[in-house]
Structures are given as structure tokens and as C-alpha cells.
Amino acid sequence: MVLDIKSIFTKNFVNLTLNQGVNIISTLIYTPILFQTLGDENFGLMHLAFSIVIMLSILTNYGYSLNGPIKIVNSNSNYNRNLIVNEVLVLRIIISIIITFFSYPIITFYVDESLQKILFFSLIILFTEALNPLFYLQGINKILPQAFLNLLSKSLYLLLILLFISKESDTYLANFFYGLSISFFFFIFWIKNYVYKKIIVRISIEKLIENLKENFKFFLSTTYTHFTLNSSLIILNFFVTNKELGRFTLAFKIAFLLRMIPVFFVQSGLQNASSLNKSSVEKFKNYVSKYFKIGLVLTFVVAILTNFFSDYIIYLFANEEIVYSSKILSALSFIPFLAMLNFKNLVFILVNDLKSILNKATFWTLIFMISSSLILCKLYGGIGLACALFSTEIFSFSIHFFLIKKNEQ
């Protein structure tokens, strides 16, 4: 059993690492191209629009990234598994269409003209979330196809950038091509694996409404988490110029990629942790502790290297020395390590289905992040936001730990 658990974790971790490796390598290629072609101001606006749409995609996801894999693992038949997949896809697609429909008049009347066109064309990203098969692939313990889909979509995205983005006025195409590339291959995946094989289960409106109610707490949790991760650029936008926003975004994008390390540690270990927790609490604790230590060492080494080589990394992306961006990257370099501190807490909460603790912890983390960001951005601009993000990770670990201990009393 131990060997099986080890091999499954290793397989999942390697596959998720490959998936994240594709993200890192593709980002290393297309970010310098976009930054140098669009300029720092348009690059900042592009990512501001991206952050806004990603926050809207919280509604599309509706918490299924957290409990979708577990529901599939716990399904006791192929019929039930297919029913879950159909319900998730239908709900996500319906929500994406509704959001897109209502977003157009809001963008037209309430969004600054410099951002309108970029934001309009960015809405396609909602459908990448709707069609994302990761919840299903995690549930059936087959992560490799996700890495393959990611490779294909990022390759197409890079090709579209090289062919069609050559000047600053092409900024609106960057996010559009991103969403189009990913949505296309996710769509092909579902056609091949479900529609073509005729594995479609009829679902009722009553069942969809029941699912909406059942998943509401997970939805709240992911809402708080996404707002914490993605609202920072939106807050900063109110206090700095577009140029400073673009230069902050360059460093933030690199740091955000590295912050995904703790995320795929949780993703790769969650299924096995859930199984062990049912059979042996002692084995569960040993399993989580072992990979927690590995994650801490890995993220600490990454933090040291990023901090030490921040000037070189920024030069690699921007093809020029940008002292401001280098300082921001140095300030953000330890965030992956701080996020990894929360690994044990998150796994424990998820495998024991402690939705109320997750909601409280993520809610108070969001409140802390927004409050500290508003104050520090107003006082110190981008450097202030970097400090707010750093302190938010510490607060997040503390509040999760405190609420778990309180629940055990």
C-alpha cells in the first residue's frame, strides 16, 4: 500500500510538474515577446484585464476545482462519475454564457476606454475555466493528458502571437488568443472522450440546482482565494501609473508562476491523502509530513535563487535593466515558501471536508489582503503591494492553523 501511494504521488507530481513546466517555459518565451512588443503600459493593461476576467471565472469554476476530484474518486460507478462530469460541464458553460452576456453592457458604460476593447476580447478566458478537464483527470488519477493539452494550447498561443501581434495596437489580441488556444484543445478533449464515445448522461434542472446549493461553500472558498490572488493588480491600478503597473506586473507574473509550486503539491497529493485518511490516520500524517518537508526545501531553494538572480531574470524578460521590477521580484521571491507552510493545513481541511473552516480562513485572509493592500499601495505603491502580499501569506497560514486547532478542542 505504501509503495502504491508513493508511486501514485510521484506519478501525479511528475505529471503536474510537467504541466507547470510547460507554463513556465511558455511564459519564459512569450512574456518577453509581449512585454517588448506591447510596451510596459499596454502589458500592464493586458494583465489588468486578465486579472478581472480570472476573478469573474470564479463564478464559472464554482468551487469544483476543490471538490470535483474528490467527488469523482468517491463515485461508486461509471454512471455516477459520468453524471458528475456532465453536471460540472453544463453548469460551468451556462454560468460562462450568463457572465459574458451581462459583462458587455457593464464594460461599455463603466470601464475606462483604454481598457474596454482589451477586456471585451478577454472574456473568452471564461470558457477555458468552463471546459477545463483537470478536475476529472485528477479524479481518475490521470494527470498526463492535462500536461499534453497544456503543451498543445501554449504552442498554438505562441504561434498566434508570432503571426498576429506585432505592434501596441494589437494588445487586445493577447488575452483573446490565450483563451482561444486553451478553449479549443479543451473542447477537442471533451468531444473525443465524451461526445464521440456517447458517454452523455441526461441531467435534470432539479439536479443542477441541487449541485449549486451543495457546492456553495466550496464556491465561497474559491471566491475568497481567487480574490486574494488576483485582486492585487486591480487595487494597484488605482494608485500608480499604467507604466508602473506594467513593470510591477512583469515581476508579479514571474512570482505568481513560482507560487504554483505549493498548489500542485496539494493537487498531486490530495487524492492519496484522502484515501489514507480513511484507512489510517497515522499513515496519513506521515504521508503529509514527508511531502510537506520536500515542498519546504524546494520552495526555499527557489526563493533564494530567485532573490539572488532577480536582476538577471528581469533582464531576460524585458531585454533591459528595470531596477523597479527587480526590487519587486526580490520582495516577492519568498512567497512560494510562505505559501508552502500552509500545505498541511489545506490538505487536512480538504480531506476532512471542513468547509466552514476553509471559508472562514479564506474570508479573513481576503479581508487582511485587501485592507493591507489598500493602505500600503496608497503609501508606497508597488513596493507596498509586495509587502502586503508577503504579509498575507503569513496571515493565511496563521488563521488556517488557528481555526484547525480551535476546531479540535
Q: What is the pLDDT of residues 180-226, one digit of tens each?
A: 999 999 999 988 877 655 555 566 677 667 766 766 766 776 777 77
Residue with cell 477555458: 128
pLDDT recorded at residue 22: 81
In this structure, the chain runs to a length of: 409
| Beta carbons within 8 Å of 205's beta carbon, 6+ residues apart | none
- Who wins on pLDDT, 57 or 53? 53
Name the strand (E) or helix (H) holding 138.
helix 134-139
Dist CA 59 CA 36 (whole Å):
33
Dist CA 89 CA 71 (whole Å):
14
Name the strand (E) or helix (H) holding 289.
helix 281-308
pTM of the shown model: 0.79
pLDDT recorded at residue 1: 44
Tell me the per-residue pLDDT of 231-289, one tens digit each, with 9 for 90 and over: 898 999 999 998 999 999 999 988 988 888 887 777 677 667 777 777 777 877 888 88
Q: How far is CA 20 from CA 26, 310, 404, in A?
A: 10, 20, 30
Mean pLDDT of 98-125: 92
Phi, psi of 146 (to 5 degrees): -65, -40
Mean pLDDT of 76-88: 77
Tell me how far apart the terminal alpha carbons of the chain are, to the nearest angstrom. 32
pLDDT recorded at residue 152: 94
361: nearest Cα among 372, 351, 350, 374: 350
Q: Helix 171-190 and helix 113-122: axis angle, to 10°?
A: 10
400: nearest Cα among 343, 336, 335: 343
